[in-house]
Structure 1
Amino acid sequence: MDSWTTDSVLPAAGVTFSVSCRTVPRGRGSAHDVTVAADGTLTAPHDLDLERIGVALGGHLTCLELADHDLPAALGILEHGLRTRPADIVQVGTRQWAALTPAEGCACEEQTWTGAGQAAAHLRSLQHWALAYRTSPARIVATADLLGYTLPTPSTNPLPRAATEHLLAESDAAQRLWDAGVPFALVPALCRTLSPSGLPVPTYVLLAHVYAPREWDVLEKFVPHGPVVLAWAAQHRTQRDARRPDERLAWVEAGVPLKAIDQLFGGMAYALVHARAYASETGVALDRAAGVLGRWQESGTTPQVRDLVELHRHDPDAATSPRCAPARATVERTVGL
């Protein structure tokens, strides 16, 4: 995710402001300037690395509090609030989203959310960043003010609906991306990657690409088959996909209709090798053979392929449709002929 960034929240020349530097927690300090570079590093008239040794031995320096606690917390919430990089979230299961780096003592240590938008919203909260960097919400707000920002950042999506009209499939795509913390500046290039033909991409496919790396390792193989098949693969994942990550793609590449694949993936009874065997033994096309096995899987009755082949030879209609099949005892007698 680190490579998917837009402009820094800070100007290229950095930001310089005056601080009151103290070597004790309370009392008067001496004023001096510090500069925060565009990459977030702090420059002060101290050797901060040397000062860290002193603090580790029991000393105190407010400039180190700024550099190591207040500043990274303020930058974190600003980057998430302004959407200059994707949110630090990850998909951990079906409809389960979590913080990529939970903060100690924060709800995100144990909590997951059912949507990317909910998880990303948590990472736009002051309390999360205060716990993540052992500071306080008030100090984060004060630091953001020194950087030229007012917290909280705007919650309204500034992107016009027309901006995503030809890129993403849903009419509310801009709002869904905004809620999920995706920088819109990245969207055009991502859509070109996901849909080289230019067809609109469903939002959840883009979210899987950005936030679900393990899922995307599988899903990206569907890109050459177009956004419709890609969206179907993302939306229809089952326990069978988890156990056999590349099997769904093999069915697609074999030319099997998506409906038949969905039926087959409702259970574990029939694999592609079974469909090929049925097609070879009965002389029907592979897509039709897969449809036959899919209907049997969907019916909840899953005879072995050799039995279905025998049934086909005696009664093709019964083999093709479980609804037309005779009673189980009759099937057994027929197969035994």
Structure 2
Amino acid sequence: MSELRIAVLGVGLMGAGHARRITKQISGARVTVINDYLVEKAEEVAATIPGSRVVADPLDAIAADDVDAVVLATPGTTHEKLLLACLELGKPVLCEKPLTTDVDTSFEIVKREEDLGRKLIQVGFMRRFDPEYVQLKALIDSGAIGLPLIVHCAHRNPVVPPGFDSAMIVRDSLVHEVDVARFLLDEEIVAVTILKPTPNSHAGAGLQDPQLALFETASGRLVDVEVFVTTGVAYEVRTEVVAERGSAMIGLDVGMVRKSTSGAWGGQIAPGFKQRFAQAFTNELQSWVDAVQAGTNVDGPDAWDGYAAAAVCAAGVRSLESGVRVEVEMASKVSASR
């Protein structure tokens, strides 16, 4: 096809941003249909996108003749029904996390897609497309610093919306580190422990913030994560990989900083200010559009990655509530493909 025609479902903060990027920054695609449960919001966004129209029913939007693919940015509770509609109609979909809101339905989506015999779902873990994470992953895969042994992560937000609870810190914030750990180390997380430090006195009543998470991987490597979502300071995301022959850190706003056995260390200073993951979102969308145009439909985290993240976060919530180590309950890929 000469130009991919896309329906954007849900035009809140994420969806409206995706619609704008597709229109202004992405080649080979255009937005033809806008949907939101707030019709006036959909009309407001459509008015800024030439050639687009509003379709009130999301299922009608997916089925529209002028829609080749879908960007799904509606609330997570709607994802299962809408993903099933995309699969039934054979339309590729870029689905913002979560895949679905629970482990069982996420696994059902994985199996339903596998029944089709081709991948149609890409999940929006955009950090995999961030230049610094791409650089860190390439360094690990090159073997230049040897086998990674430990990963240290920090995930800090200045503020979260009202109603953001302790479990949402796991499901909505820590989930990104879940995918980062699986992406960088190429293996599954098999156990999670959530520790609860003294809560921030400036956090909302009852909000356990910060939290410290410890992931154990299948081969015995450890990933520790500080999640602190009410710092009142800034948005900070850092990742350090400690390996057998050196270490590397990203997220310092100076590019990757590397230490080596030669005693050298350093990195490159970014040429200017930009929102931390602005480029990642653009790269993610362009990569997805190119994959759909090529007929592969997915170039990044897939439905299995969405299911794995849901399973790890479910274990994390149980650990948060119980205060003990919780093993991840997850099917094997063999059982998924039956």
TM-score band, normalised by shorter chain? under 0.3
- Tell me which structure has the larger Cα radius of gyration: 1
**Structure richer in helix, relative to its length:** 1
Scaled by the length of structure 1, the TM-score of the pair is 0.24
